């Protein structure tokens, strides 16, 4: 039997995982449930783990797996198992489109041709993906280096603070943190040597969300 808050939290986590494949942060859970502190979130998560609704994934920050989803129409009652994706073999490789280079500094021309890139399937989640070769150093503090391959999940929207491919004026693409500042869209670098870029909303279109990185040595 779940309390109302436990029910709200498991549904919120399940929805966020379904949308983007990433668990919400404890701060996001606190705000979603209108709790006063994150200690209340910790108590709810611990209770859901004990009841078999959630599982913490070892050695991964913010990693939660939903094991059961309660019925949405009520906060108590029988839970149904969450859909289980087919297992991915560790050596499975997928071919995804490689759309040229993307700036992690100043914007450069978007999608310069297309080839294919072999990517370990374990790096990709749900959805349609493509890859872009990173050019520049403005995202180094986020661990994104010049020459890396950014693995992008196709999407036309983003949450505040997500790293996205932003298409500017339908001609240039850049990889940045996506945020709002008043009526403007602000694209933030992860390198103090670079300044944020500000645009009117009609100048910027989200083309995808960062799903992972591939680095060759």
Q: Which domains does the chain have, with CATH numbers?
A: 4-72 (1.10.10.10), 93-214 (2.10.109.10)
Which residues participate in catalysis according to the annotation?
Answer: 138, 176
pTM, two decimals, is 0.56
In this prediction, residue 90 carries a pLDDT of 43
Q: Which token pair is 193?
A: 């040597």
* Pairing status of strand 204-214 against strand 163-168: antiparallel
In this prediction, residue 108 carries a pLDDT of 44
In this prediction, residue 191 carries a pLDDT of 94
Between CA 20 and CA 95 the distance in angstroms is 21
217 residues of the chain, pLDDT tens digit each:
678 888 888 888 888 887 777 778 888 888 888 888 888 888 888 888 888 888 876 645 557 888 887 775 444 444 555 554 444 444 467 788 888 788 766 554 455 556 888 888 777 777 888 888 898 899 999 999 999 999 998 898 999 999 999 989 888 889 999 999 999 999 999 999 999 999 999 999 998 999 989 887 7
- Does residue 138 sit in helix, strand or coil? coil
In this prediction, residue 150 carries a pLDDT of 92
Between CA 194 and CA 47 the distance in angstroms is 44
For the chain, the distance separating the N- and C-terminal CA atoms, rounded to the nearest angstrom, is 51
């Amino acid at each position: 039997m779940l309390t109302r808050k436990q029910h709200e939290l498991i549904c919120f986590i399940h929805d966020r995982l379904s949308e983007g494949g990433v668990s919400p942060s404890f701060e996001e859970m606190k705000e979603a449930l209108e709790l006063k502190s994150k200690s209340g979130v910790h108590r709810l998560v611990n209770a859901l783990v004990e009841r078999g609704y959630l599982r913490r994934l070892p050695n991964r920050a913010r990693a939660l797996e939903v094991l059961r989803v309660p019925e949405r129409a009520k906060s108590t009652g029988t839970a149904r198992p969450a859909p289980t994706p087919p297992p991915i073999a560790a050596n499975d490789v997928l071919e995804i489109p490689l759309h040229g280079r993307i700036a992690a500094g100043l914007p450069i021309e978007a999608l310069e041709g297309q080839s294919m890139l072999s990517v370990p399937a374990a790096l990709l989640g749900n959805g349609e993906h493509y890859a872009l070769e990173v050019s520049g150093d403005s995202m180094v503090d986020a661990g994104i280096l010049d020459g890396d391959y950014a693995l992008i999940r196709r999407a036309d929207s983003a949450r505040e603070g997500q790293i996205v491919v932003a298409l500017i004026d339908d001609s240039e693409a850049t990889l940045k943190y996506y945020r709002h500042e008043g009526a403007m869209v602000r694209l933030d670098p992860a390198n103090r040597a670079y300044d944020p870029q500000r645009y009117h909303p009609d100048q910027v279109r989200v083309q995808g969300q960062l799903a992972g990185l591939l680095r060759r040595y």
